Chain A
Amino acid sequence: MSRAFKFGQIATTLFGITLVAFFLIRLVPGDPVTLLIGERGASPEAIAELKARIGLDRPLVEQYGLFVWNALKGDLGVSILSGRSVGAEFLERLAATAELGLTALMLATLVGVPLGIFAALHRGRLFDRLSMGLAVSFYSMPIFWWGLMAIVIFSVKLAWLPVSGRIGVEHDVILKSGLLLVDSWLMPGSLAESWAAFKSVIHHLLLPASVLATVPLAVIARMTRSSLLEVLGEDYVRTARAKGLSRFRVVALHALRNALIPVVTVIGLMLGTILTGAILTETIFSWPGLGRWLVSAVLSRDYPVIQGGILMVAVVVLTTSLLVEIFYYFISPRSRGRG
């Protein structure tokens, strides 16, 4: 597949996303203006005036054209509800979701990969059965329920971790990067205060990130196990063993290198799963991220937020999968031949 073709595909998909985001949401009964000022209480003239101000009185095709044209110029419009720029709001929310999602992905990788490796090395034995049983249970977990249970156990009963939010109210962190893990070090005040704020951020992250990590952890562990088992059956592994290399050397230096290629790919492509999980996790933990932002925008028919937000989410997802593909191209010589 040529590079130009690939970019053509992505462009077509993005074009499709603009169509879906723009027209689907206008199929939803009820418009933002009526929802904003209520069905009663406003004169038809006032409603018409507000609609004209937002540009909702123009023909649909013209509105759509304007949306795409402005989006190409990097302007996603202004939220009807908050009056703020959609692009700025998106970046702010993205940072919150990224902090949660990347922490979850890191947790899932740090636990999932070793679990998969040990399961593969002890194939058929108790550890393998137990860990793979655990993995399939995690994979089947309704995380909206899991999150509630986690709150009951760790926040309410044991009182170890906070129930919701991103940081304790007593810390005055100023948003710079949007990632509180970073911003807690950039805040004014002593190092001790920064450290306290940082600890508070970690405390708030731990529970939602673990809940969000549940499904990815299972996928990564299972993928690592089956991939390593496959590689361990290859001739070159047998050759390495026959040369008299230690089992550790064979697994760690020879087999793992190839076995982890599909695992890395899966981790990269897990972004969609993370975002889906984030929508549910953010609802449970009142996390001010993308998921809650978009859901409340859909419920209040905030057209600019929905169309701009969905478009940007798609851009993020497609960019990541493209990066994964490029990465795959470089680390797996086999995929290059097919080009």
Chain B
Amino acid sequence: MRVTQEALRSIRRNLGGPLIIVAMALLGLTTFFAIFAPLIAPYDPARTFEGAYSLPPFFLEGWDSRFLLGTDDVGRDLFSRLIHGARISLLAGFAVTVLSLTIGVVLGALAGWKGGFIEAAILRLMDTMMALPSILLAIVVVTILGPSLVNAVIAAAVTAVPGVVRLVRATIREEKAKPYSLSAKLYGAGGFRIVTVELLPNSLAPIFVQGTMGFGEGILNVAALGFLGLGARPPMAEWGTMLADSRAYVESQPWLVTAPGLCILIVILSFNLLGDHLRDVFDPKLKTREEA
């Protein structure tokens, strides 16, 4: 009984303010939309309705009850496209995060554990990547691979790698200097075992925070590439691509531009709020300072 009470109190304490709950609710809702997109969306996102071009959303004069948020210039239902866009953006963000964390953790752990030449080589490579504006690097990668959603994800992941590598390297180095690392070594554990079984589990908190922030940034970069015409190809219902598609109608039908942008903003904002909060929870040093 006492244990549950303690657990409840700890959950309440770690849940943070109402803003965090709103952020988590929004992310939950987006995830729900993403998973059940075909069931929730009234129509196929690529289906065009003849004669129903450029209809306004429900709060404007002349809307059609079949299309809650109106239609775009070729008669596609905006609501359905936004819902399917949630699916694409979340998947893309997830893929960017997993890809960049995997590569980043391997390289960062290698650099932090081995030190010496390997560390220097990895760090110089990361410096090289960081000396270029990230979107430029992504543009070059996408032009090499060809514009598509998958390649935009790869490009966004590549640009996210240096940040992860630096973080993981720093935490592994810190953990490596602690006594438990030495004692594992004295027990005869090999380097691979010490890093994966001892050091990495103790470095998870900052990696987790970085992953949450990286999720939002991944979505943003994939959407930015889509906006530049280097990501998902139309008629795919990707939010950034939808923005680029409706750029020409920004004056006559501003909602076509407003809606996908708002979706991007809300999702990224939620991830950043959550990331900020997780950092406060996981970084006790910062927390005591805040409370002091």
Contacts and interface: CB of A to CB of B under 8 A. Distances in A.
Contacts of B124: 9, 12-13, 16
Given A142-B220, A145-B243, A152 B250 contact: yes
B268 A298 contact: no
B159 to A, nearest CB: 9
B28 interface: no
A17 B273 CA distance: 35
Interface residues of A, number: 47
A24 B144 contact: yes
Interface SS of B by simple majority: helix
B128 interface: yes
Q: Interface extent on B, as a size class?
A: 35 or more
A16 B265 CA distance: 35
A279 B143 contact: no
Interface stretch (B96-104, B110-118, B223-231): B223-231
A276 B289 contact: no
Interface string A115-156: 000000000000000000100110111101110110110001
Interface in A1-26: 9, 12-13, 16-17, 20, 24-25
Interface SS of A by simple majority: helix
A76 B217 CA distance: 34
B179 to A, nearest CB: 24
17 contacts: A17-B128, A20-B128, A28-B140, A136-B272, A136-B273, A142-B240, A142-B261, A152-B254, A152-B257, A229-B289, A275-B133, A279-B139, A295-B228, A310-B136, A314-B131, A314-B132, A317-B131
Interface of A: 9, 12-13, 16-17, 20, 24-25, 27-29, 133, 136-137, 139-142, 144-146, 148-149, 151-152, 156, 229-230, 233, 272, 275-276, 278-280, 283, 291, 294-295, 298-299, 306, 310, 313-314, 317-318
Interface of B: 19, 124-125, 127-128, 130-136, 139-140, 143-144, 146, 216, 220, 223-224, 227-228, 240, 243, 247, 250-251, 254, 257-258, 260-261, 264-265, 268-269, 271-273, 276, 289-290, 292
